[in-house]
Structure 1
């Protein structure tokens, strides 16, 4: 792995979606999937263990809230960037123990702290 390679964790409760994302990321020479998770608890464990550059998150997780996951990652692992293709501004306004924040989802639905 070169220094410019970005390491990714994929969080989605649908195995076929994770497989599709894995296949797509494999085509990019500067990206590497280093972990996968299907729910909140597994995501926190994997991200804590591998410390990726980016977490790709399904905000509509089946048994837990992807929005709560975004908040928890922001609080515990502030260096990890997050992206979701499903997010709208009204759904991704974190608040809580790490303080209020506002997420910019105006460009390609990516989550970036303003």
Structure 2
């Protein structure tokens, strides 16, 4: 049986070296390449056609869910396993929705990482316990939040969305992180039963949350 061909993607050389050594210790794994950012990862996947891409989320663009989506579009046969330190809803949900087959945190034991890589190659979903819990809570959240009261902070976020500001601009104005902005938006979408930003703004005006 041929070894699984792996591509490691992370913008930190020390992390890439560590993963290369760790994953390379397994006789059924072959590290065919490594990339420090999204563009390099896309180029290498096209050239090398690995079985599994083990990737971080935040690095030189394209990164995160955008990189995962592009990888899936250009090489649908490649399986993508996220290995990161980030486990917020704003990180986890977009990555899974974009097509990641697995999502592990970097503090996972090495044996868990090995199992996850093999499972990803078999097209089986593998999630760290905290990530799995977030997904379960997110599935339940819309029902619990629907029709709920919009908080003052959520109202501020919605008002800035109505002004046409993007997540980065909103984060700067409110002095919060982009991840927090995304979380507020997810809650707004659920509470207002809105599929996107435009629908949320429209619902905000209809319900008097925003002033014309």
What TM-score results when the alignment is normalised by the length of structure 1? Answer: 0.77
Using CA pairs below 8 Å that are at least 6 residues apart, which structure has the higher relative contact order?
Answer: 1
Of 126, 147, 151, the match for 1:107: 126
Of 32, 35, 54, the match for 1:34: 32
Distance change >3 Å, CA 27–CA 40, structure 1 → 2 = same
Partners of 1:79 and 1:44 lie apart in 2 by: 14
Name structure 2 gaps, 5 residues minimum: 104-124, 129-212
Corresponding residue for residue 11 of structure 1: 9
Answer 1 or 2: which has greater strand percent. 1
Tell whether 2:71 aligns with 1:73: yes
The alpha-carbon deviation at position 66 of structure 1 amounts to: 2.5
Larger Rg: 2
Of 87, 91, 94, the match for 2:94: 91
Deviations 1:69-89, CA, capped at 9 Å, x for gaps:
100000000000010123653
Corresponding residue for residue 191 of structure 2: none
Answer 1 or 2: which has greater helix percent. 2
What TM-score results when the alignment is normalised by the length of structure 2? Answer: 0.43
Name structure 1 gaps, 5 residues minimum: 95-100, 110-114
- RMSD (Å) for aligned C-alpha atoms: 2.2
Deviation beyond 4 Å, 4+ runs, structure 1: 101-106
